[in-house]
Amino acid sequence: MPKSKKSVNPINLSDPQYYLNRELSWLQFNNKVLHEACDQRTPLLERLKFLAIFSSNLDEFFMVRVAGLKQQVEAKVTQLTPDGRTPQQQLDDIRSTLSPQVAKQHQHFEQVLRSLLGKHGIHILDYIDLNQRQRNYLEGYFEEQIFPVLTPLAVDPSHPFPYISNLSLNLAVVVKNPDTEEEYFARVKVPKVLPRFLPIPPELGEQNNGTPTHWTGVPLEQAIAHNLEYLFPGMNIQEYHPFRITRDADLVLEEDEADDLLLAIEQELRKRRMGGSPVRLEIQSQTPEPIRSKLLQDLELTENDVYEVDGLLGLRDLMYFMALPLPELKDPPRQSVVPLRLQRLREPSLNPDVLEMDEGKDFFAVIREKDLLVHHPYQSFTATVVRFITHAAHDPNVLAIKMTLYRTSGDSPIVNALIAAAENGKQVSVLVELKARFDEENNIYWARRLERVGVHVVYGLVGLKTHSKIVLVVRREKDRMRRYVHIGTGNYNPKTARLYTDLGLFSCREELGADLTDVFNFLTGYSRQKSYRELLVAPVNMRDRFLALIRREIENVQNGFSGRIVAKMNALVDPEIIATLYEASRAGVEIDLIIRGVCCLRPGIKDISENIRIISIVGRYLEHSRIHYFYNNGEEEIYIGSADWMRRNLDRRIEVITPVKDPDIAKDLQEILGIMLADNRHAWELQADGTYIQRHPGDDCPEANSQKTLINMALRSTGVATNLID
């Protein structure tokens, strides 16, 4: 029986009080990364890894987001964000929010982790704590390996303040001429070509009450600082202070005016290597005022751009210690599994007239049986996606391969397979997105290599980034052509596929093949395609389709039926989507959202969003998959693809979302969502004020670790008994 209709009073859903700030929400996400570094349940070296990720994330945040806000302030932009903040207000709030996080990070490393590392035989020492034998060794190492690389730069009327490169670690040095008593300022750059942490030979290492010594050493900048007399012979070293700067590193492209997009991006990359304006100065808290003032003046920064730390600068370099062969201090190794349907594939026949028999099927025969869902890293990316493209490259029945590349690895087996396909005479077309931030140079390299072997390379569309993850394979089978597709949520990158959770759908359904053909024609030619059979494609129809799916749930509730939405994605920012979700909540639709990163929707507001619950999961793997579920009055619909609910994804990118029609796969996706929603180990619940509260198992409730549970789910797909992971 349908329920009675629920009436709602009109309200202004665009009111700024109903929206969280994007930048502050991102800082809340990064704070969850920091929490993993401080959590005693996290293995010791993994804690160092999370500290490094926290720092690396902040570097990019300043290079792009903070730099953009500073540009808006300089341009006197007065436009408010949906939450009602000016650019300057955002910069002020970023600083007040971030300062205690940075202090917590450094305090935890210096006061907790360094001691714990020492107890496990990893001694990150300060130079002043070295014994004489260790100092003698490092002095010799400095003379032979470090000194020849260094270039001291004087700063005086005849030597202007030198250019300081982005993310570089430096020493501000004050020296005195003993004859004239005159002091001089100099800068010494800590070279990136040398390891940030210098190991000392084991026989000279620290001893710790019988505990084996695995690594002993010092930071590179301290080895340089304590040997500065080699750089300034005859001068007295008065003082030295490390500092680090961050510059604006976002590319500014006038695409409409560029005759050659590839050339334009190469020119912008050269500018990035030189670096834009400084946006942050990191110094140690004991840096004296004269040095601090000089750096601020010469870098044209203000006190609001200074971040003081107690301890080492640039903790992103702690990732160095993940290379230590100490598995007992890391997460247990996890082996990706191969789905049962793909375990005994045979290689493509060299005879194009031979079609596969049931015995010893190849990849295409498996897909013809029914659609196939893969879930990385729980299921092997290499044995699924890479194998599919490699199969296509060498199958004589395959005539054409088309795909998009947004980010890929430096030694990409996928690109090598595409090269092999072109060399085998197949028609290969690849859209390489040159504007993938911080991967532009790598993508230019692959684009040129592909072009040299005859691949048709498209560099993207003016004004739009191609963010979709799609492959189309055209294969001749007897007297017909059949199209095979892969539509994914993540990049075609074997390295990140071991670290990011992502989904991919293999299918040969005619509607999907026809739709992807139209998408590729849109990408490579002059197409004004306005509709698609099944796919949601941005910026063509995706926004309207998602809004319609949400409003359908509203209508069902208004007609007395149940309404339910579950969505998992990286970010929820788009004001129109948020306002429509508010409408759905007010109508009585039950909404659960799993938003890993930025979320601008405020849940739990009375009469606005009290039917919306939001969690964020941050753990061993980066939650990157996008899943969208709509109850549809019992005729459930579920979608996966590349897009988040952000303006840029819906309006300024080429994105592809596919419906999942296979009932078994739809059931698997619902199970994945259920596992995520039940997590009480890595899940954080978003509060109406924008803060998060971490879930914990209750006294009568066992730990529900979604990432461990999903391993069991992957094992089940291989035919192996589940519950093998405790």
Tokens 């698609």 belong to 532
Sequence-ordered alpha helix ranges (H) in 109-234 = 114-119, 132-141, 220-225
Q: Are 377 and 494 in contact (CB under 8 A)?
A: no
Read off φ and ψ for residue 284, nearest 5 degrees: -80, 150
CA pair distance 528, 517, nearest whole angstrom: 13
Q: Are 470 and 516 in contact (CB under 8 A)?
A: yes
**Locus of tokens 């890293």:** 377
DSSP state of 601: B
CA distance 153 to 175: 12
* C-alpha to C-alpha distance for 66 and 90, rounded to whole angstroms: 9
* Secondary structure E strands in 406-543: 427-432, 456-458, 465-466, 470-477, 480-488, 500-507, 536-538
Do β-strands 465-466 and 470-477 pair in parallel, antiparallel, or remain unpaired?
A: unpaired
Angstrom distance (rounded) from CA 185 to CA 174: 5
Q: Label the pairing between strands 215-219 and 197-199.
A: antiparallel
Q: 486 catalytic, yes or no?
A: no
Instruction: Determine if residue 275 is left, alpha or beta; phi over 0 gives left, psi from -120 to 50 gives alpha, anything else beta.
Output: left
| Paired tokens of 618 | 């941050």
423 vs 501: CA distance, rounded Å: 33
Residue for token digits 């819906």? Answer: 650
Strand order in the sheet with 197-199: 122-124, 215-219, 197-199
Query: Would you call 399 exposed, middle or buried from its count of C-beta atoms within 10 A (0-12, 13-18, 19+)?
Result: middle
Nearby residues of 156 by Cβ (< 8 Å), 6 or more positions away: 184, 185
Q: Could you tell me the sign of the dihedral formed by the alpha carbons of 200, 204, 206, 209, in that order?
A: positive
Nearest Cα neighbor of 477 from 362, 327, 585 is 362
User: 106, 241, 467, 624: which is the annotated catalytic residue?
Assistant: 467
H-only helix segments in 62-131: 67-74, 87-108, 114-119
Tell me whether residue 622 is exposed, middle or buried, using C-beta atoms within 10 angstroms of its C-beta: 0 to 12, 13 to 18, 19 or more: buried
Task: Give the 3-state secondary structure percentages of the chain, helix then strand then coil, rounded to 5.
Answer: 40, 20, 40
Query: Which of 33, 624, 99 is CA-nearest to residue 316?
Result: 33
Place of tokens 């020296």: 175
CA separation for the pair 310, 110 (Å, rounded): 8
Contacts of 478 (CB under 8 A, 6+ apart): 355
- Looking at the annotation, which residues are catalytic? 467
